[in-house]
């Protein structure tokens, strides 16, 4: 076994260097550019919210997004695939429906279905929102992060006045999110809670104000020349 000459050493070393370069590009042995710094352990994230729809449909929604990851030794790395979604839809005064589907990080799309219901949406500023269709009804939904990062309380109710329909909201700390559906259409709502004072806006141009009183909320709404009142309660989601 003689000593390799410089040419032989070059031939042996180059494949090793090439392999290291490929491993680095794949993220093995180093941090990945796809790594989610907001969810460093790549744990499932739960969301809770409400739905409103035509024919007076309302209810609550719970979803859990589980990241698609691969474990290599002590490293956990995101895969270039969609995440899995599981959850439950509860129709107020009705049944529970098991949902499943996919979510493409970081912002969507979200696609889940079950029991004849289909939900499509996206994730923006920590809120899942979008539209849904189901047996004899369709409308809007929103959901806020729940679990260890904060609890979510749902309020389900109605609105009346120049238009009428279902009006459901979710509250997590000072953040409010929800939707309404009436004869004039369906849209999402977002806003804040300051003390007991409620302020809401909608992409439709509607605005609303109200007051939180224990397990219930109520107030007024305005959309152009149309006005009315709204109300909701935690028991209204049963």
Helix, strand or coil, per DSSP, at residue 141: strand
User: In this structure, are residues 88 and 62 in contact, taking their beta carbons and an 8 Å threshold?
Assistant: yes
Mean pLDDT of the chain: 85
Question: Looking at the 3D structure of the chain, how many domains does it have?
Answer: 1
- Domain annotation covers residue 49: no
Q: Which residue has the higher pLDDT, 186 or 30?
A: 186
Q: Which residue has the higher pLDDT, 45 or 12?
A: 45
- Domain annotation covers residue 41: no
* % of the chain exceeding 70 in pLDDT: 77
- Domain annotation covers residue 155: yes
- Domain annotation covers residue 67: yes
| Segment 89-105 mean pLDDT | 96
DSSP string, 150-219: ---EEEEEEEEESS-EEEEEEEETTEEEEEEEETTEEEEEEEEEETTEEEEE-TTS-EEEEEEETTEEEE
- Domain annotation covers residue 40: no
- Domain annotation covers residue 114: yes
Helix, strand or coil, per DSSP, at residue 130: strand
- Domain annotation covers residue 14: no
pLDDT at 147: 76
Q: Looking at the predicted structure, is the pLDDT value of residue 30 above 70?
A: no
pTM above the 0.85 mark? no
Q: Return the ∠ at Cα 225 (arms to 222 and 230), rounded to 5°.
A: 30
pLDDT at 156: 98
Q: What whole-number distance in Å separates Cα of residue 122 and Cα of residue 104?
A: 9
Q: What whole-number distance in Å separates Cα of residue 48 and Cα of residue 238?
A: 15
- Domain annotation covers residue 28: no
Domain region containing 176: 57-237
Q: Which residue has the higher pLDDT, 33 or 107?
A: 107
pLDDT in tens, 145-181: 997 667 999 999 999 999 999 999 999 999 999 999 9
């Amino acid at each position: 076994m003689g000593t390799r000459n410089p040419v032989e050493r070059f031939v042996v070393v180059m494949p090793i260097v090439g392999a290291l370069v490929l491993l680095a590009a794949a993220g093995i042995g180093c941090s990945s550019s796809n790594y989610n710094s907001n969810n460093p352990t790549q744990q499932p994230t739960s969301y809770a919210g409400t739905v409103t729809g035509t024919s007076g449909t309302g209810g609550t929604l719970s979803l859990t997004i589980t990241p698609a990851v691969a474990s290599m030794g002590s490293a956990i790395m995101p895969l270039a695939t969609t995440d899995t979604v599981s959850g439950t839809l509860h129709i107020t005064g009705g049944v529970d429906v098991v949902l499943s589907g996919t979510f493409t990080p970081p912002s969507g799309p979200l696609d889940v279905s079950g029991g004849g219901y289909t939900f499509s949406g996206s994730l923006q500023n920590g809120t899942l929102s979008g539209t849904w269709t189901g047996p004899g009804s369709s409308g809007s939904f929103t959901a806020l992060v729940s679990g260890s990062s904060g609890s979510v309380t749902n309020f389900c109710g109605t609105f009346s006045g120049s238009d009428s329909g279902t009006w459901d909201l979710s509250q997590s700390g000072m953040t409010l999110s929800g939707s309404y559906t009436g004869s004039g259409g369906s849209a999402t709502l977002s806003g804040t809670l300051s003390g007991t004072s409620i302020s809401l806006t909608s992409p439709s141009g509607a605005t609303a104000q109200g007051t939180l009183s224990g397990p219930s909320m109520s107030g007024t709404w305005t959309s152009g020349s149309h006005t009315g009142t709204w109300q909701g309660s935690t028991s209204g989601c049963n």
